[in-house]
């Protein structure tokens, strides 16, 4: 037998009080003399004998009552049959998983409600313990103290689902750090009430629990079920223009073992339904839905994909933002301008483009970084830092560059520059006045030429195409967009790093052909500019830190806020070049959680951008560790215990018998009352 509060055993010293009273009777007796006392002496002798027995019995009853009362306050208990027993004198840290996956149901009851009920039962067992700590996925400030069981029971009624998933390693570090602040006698124990979702639990095999602590895993026994969610969404092209047909692809995944048939997806743009699609999503697989839509007006458009899927509903909405007809920034670097000034003229008639022209001898590298497309025209050779600036712009910044040669380019100089971008085998023509060659008909199935030719023209075989007199040639790189009838390339598109390179074989001057005067010139240059727009990030996730946003004129000392309705938050931020890096606050950094939706990026009360934030879809993958799998993972750690099930009311009783022993204090309390009743009976009825 052990005691929870052995200091109360000092109360056993109180038995000296009845002993002293019964041994030392200080009442003075009064003598009365009679003439004949022989008969009275016999009566007195008999009475004193009975009275002495009564006094001893009363004293024994009082001593036993005091002993039982002292033992009851010391709270004796029989040690548990399990060697991994709970030490009630240490700190008990309780983790309640309130992630979105706990929204799933078992027998029409949410996992969160089921875990909360069993945790409340455990608090009932620990009702006299005052060194309790509760941790949730919020990691809030109120979790840092030690509380009584009743305090934590009150808090259980306020816990709701959290949008911040935590790995179990993060939970363990959090519990350990908080318990370190409160040194206490005894062994600490940790409890994890969770569904143990595989996609968010982290690497459990690498998690080592301190041998000075005990860990109890209480799985909800979650069952994998069908759950449909949007994995990602992307555009067919990175460029969206109003009043034109646009295509949005949506990847839909299913984490369950059953096929999801005829899932109806709805596309909403600015609160107006724009399109619908139906997909069949295989078990543990994915399917892609295609939406055709048109946009009216420029600027940011709020998009949303919605569908019906129960019982997990937190991921039934996917938010995204489209930027219709954004301004395309074009930097024109020239050495020898074409006589017709074709580059500036082709883009000047459309407000969609912003063109700046500078001589190659007077170019600011900062202008290159802030552009979408750089057109290098008529430069004989590249000098200074220009080659390195352009290479960094393409490979690292994701920009695009179009190279239009001069009439006499230096092949060695350009060969070194273009080889760094993946184009090799560059050589100039041997003749000073090459004969012009007609362009070959373009491949109409090439996505580059989509929407360029009308359907009637697409069926024609013999088209009136311009002629070209090339000044250089290359062995080939990337995708051939336009070629000459003799097989030599005229326009190539190559991918380098995260950017693109467009290479022409001849200048735009009339001496080298009439491409710039032909009808095909405008759509080709428009397509190059449109394809140079960096692919739009339609949405972000809350745990994607940092979030990178492109800004036109980022000011180093500006403070940007995220606003939703009337609520504003100021995230941790820094500016790198023309990018704003934001770190979205997590659970304990907010007064209340953030829901998925649209947020305005505000600077000086001006909305710069609109972004969409969604929850991490890892929560939507409803695959769980079973108790046997958890035992296998923690097999080498003897201080870890795993329970089989908590979906019935016998959990608290079984847990107490196996891990907390049998409480005896109530029996000693009954014993104290029993001996007090014996004392009363002896005094009242024993004459």
Question: What is residue 601's predicted lDDT score, i.e. its pLDDT?
Answer: 93
Domain covering 328-532 assigned CATH 2.60.120.10 in the classification: no
| Long-range own/partner contacts, residues 122-125 (CB < 8 A, 24 or more apart) | 122/94, 122/191, 122/652, 122/655, 123/149, 123/152, 123/153, 123/156, 124/149, 124/652, 125/652, 125/655, 125/656, 125/660
Place of tokens 């007809």: 325
Residue 212 pLDDT: 86
Distance CA 591, CA 613 (A): 18
> Is residue 666 within 8 Å of 63, Cβ to Cβ?
no
Q: Which of 521, 510, 509 is nearest to 482 (CA)?
A: 521
Q: What is the pLDDT of residue 444?
A: 78
Structure tokens at 287: 């399917």
What pLDDT is attached to residue 503? 95
Q: How is the beta sheet containing 132-135 ordered, strand by strand? A: 132-135, 92-96, 188-194, 213-219, 640-642
9-44 pLDDT tens trace: 888 888 888 888 777 764 555 566 656 655 555 555
Domain residue ranges in the chain: 2-28+36-79+664-685, 92-224+622-660, 328-532, 539-621
Rg (CA), the chain: 41
Ramachandran sector of residue 123 (left: φ over 0; alpha: ψ -120 to 50; beta: rest): alpha
Return the pLDDT at 590: 56
496-550 confidence digits (pLDDT tens): 888 899 999 999 988 899 999 998 999 999 989 988 887 778 899 988 888 888 7
- For the stretch 334-364, pLDDT in tens is 997 777 889 989 998 787 888 999 999 888 8
pLDDT at 262: 92
Identical topology for domains 92-224+622-660 and 328-532: yes
Spatial distance between the Cα atoms of 108 and 113, rounded to a whole number of angstroms: 10
Q: What is the pLDDT of residue 135?
A: 94
Report the C-alpha gap between 402 and 385 in whole angstroms: 18
User: Using an 8 Å Cβ cutoff, are 465 and 438 in contact?
Assistant: yes
Which class is 539-621 in CATH? mainly beta
pLDDT of residue 366: 81
Residues (pLDDT < 50) of the chain are 26, 456-458, 460, 591
Confidence at residue 89, expressed as pLDDT on a 0 to 100 scale: 66
How would CATH label the architecture of 92-224+622-660?
3-Layer(aba) Sandwich (3.40)
pLDDT of residue 116: 92
Instruction: Give residue 456's pLDDT.
Output: 44
Check residue 439 and give its pLDDT.
92
Q: What is the largest CA-CA distance in the chain?
A: 167
């Amino acid at each position: 037998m052990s005691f929870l509060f052995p200091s109360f055993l000092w109360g056993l010293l109180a038995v000296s009080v009845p002993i002293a009273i019964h041994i030392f009777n200080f009442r003075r007796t009064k003598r009365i003399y009679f003439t004949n006392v022989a008969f009275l002496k016999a009566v007195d002798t008999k009475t004193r004998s009975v009275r002495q027995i009564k006094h001893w019995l009363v004293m024994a009853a009082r001593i036993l009552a005091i002993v039982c009362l002292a033992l009851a306050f010391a709270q004796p208990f029989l040690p548990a049959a399990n060697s991994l027993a709970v030490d009630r004198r240490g700190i008990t840290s309780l983790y309640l998983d309130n992630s979105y996956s706990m929204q799933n149901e078992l027998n029409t009851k949410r996992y969160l409600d089921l875990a909360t009920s069993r945790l409340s039962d455990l608090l009932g067992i620990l009702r006299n313990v005052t060194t309790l700590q509760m941790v949730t996925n919020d990691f809030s400030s109120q979790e840092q103290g030690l509380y009584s069981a009743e305090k934590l029971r009150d808090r259980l009624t306020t816990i709701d689902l959290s949008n911040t998933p935590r790995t179990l390693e993060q939970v363990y570090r959090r519990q350990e750090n908080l318990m370190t602040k409160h040194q206490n006698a005894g062994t600490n124990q940790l409890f994890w009430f969770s569904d143990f979702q595989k996609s968010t639990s982290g690497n459990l095999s690498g998690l080592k629990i301190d041998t000075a602590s005990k860990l109890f895993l209480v799985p909800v026994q979650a069952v994998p079920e069908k759950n449909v969610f949007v994995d990602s969404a992307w555009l067919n092209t990175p460029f969206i223009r109003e009043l034109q047909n646009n295509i949005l692809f949506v990847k839909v995944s299913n984490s369950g073992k059953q096929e999801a048939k005829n899932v109806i997806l709805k596309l909403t743009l600015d609160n107006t339904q724009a399109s619908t699609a139906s997909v069949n999503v295989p078990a543990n697989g994915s399917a892609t839905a295609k939406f055709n839509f048109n946009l009216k007006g420029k600027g940011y458009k709020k998009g949303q994909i919605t569908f019906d899927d129960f019982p997990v509903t937190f991921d039934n909405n996917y938010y995204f933002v489209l930027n219709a007809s954004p301004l395309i920034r074009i930097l024109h670097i020239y050495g020898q301008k074409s006589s017709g000034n074709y580059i500036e003229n082709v883009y000047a008639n459309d407000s969609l483009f912003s063109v700046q022209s500078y001589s190659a001898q007077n170019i600011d590298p900062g202008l290159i970084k802030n552009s979408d497309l750089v057109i290098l025209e008529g430069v004989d050779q590249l000098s200074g830092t220009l080659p390195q600036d352009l290479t960094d712009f393409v490979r690292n910044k994701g920009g695009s560059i179009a190279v239009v040669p001069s009439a006499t380019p230096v092949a060695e100089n350009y060969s070194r520059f273009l080889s760094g971008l993946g184009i090799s085998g560059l050589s100039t023509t041997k003749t000073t006045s090459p004969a012009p060659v007609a362009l070959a008909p373009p491949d109409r199935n090439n996505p580059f030429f989509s929407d360029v030719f009308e359907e009637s023209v697409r069926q024609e075989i013999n088209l009136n195409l311009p002629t070209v007199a090339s000044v250089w040639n290359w062995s080939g790189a990337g995708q051939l967009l336009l070629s000459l009838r003799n097989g030599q390339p005229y326009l190539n598109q190559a991918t380098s790093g995260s950017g693109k390179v467009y290479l022409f074989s001849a200048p735009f001057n009339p001496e080298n052909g009439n491409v710039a005067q032909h009808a095909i010139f405008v759509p080709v240059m428009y397509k190059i500019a449109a394809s140079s727009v960096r692919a739009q990030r339609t949405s972000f996730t809350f745990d994607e830190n940092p979030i990178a946003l492109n800004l036109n004129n980022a000011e180093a000392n500006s403070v940007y806020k995220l606003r939703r309705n009337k609520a504003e938050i100021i995230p941790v931020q820094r500016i790198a070049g023309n990018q704003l890096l934001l770190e979205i606050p997590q659970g304990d950094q907010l007064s209340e959680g953030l829901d998925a939706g649209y947020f305005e990026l505000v600077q000086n009360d001006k909305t710069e951008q609109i972004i969409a934030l969604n929850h991490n879809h890892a929560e939507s993958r409803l695959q769980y560790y079973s108790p046997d799998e958890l035992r296998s993972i923690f097999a080498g750690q003897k201080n870890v215990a795993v329970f089989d099930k908590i979906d019935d009311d016998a959990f608290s009783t079984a847990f107490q018998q196996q891990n907390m022993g049998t409480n005896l204090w109530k029996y000693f309390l009954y014993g104290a009352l029993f001996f007090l009743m014996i004392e009363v009976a002896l005094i009242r009825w024993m004459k």
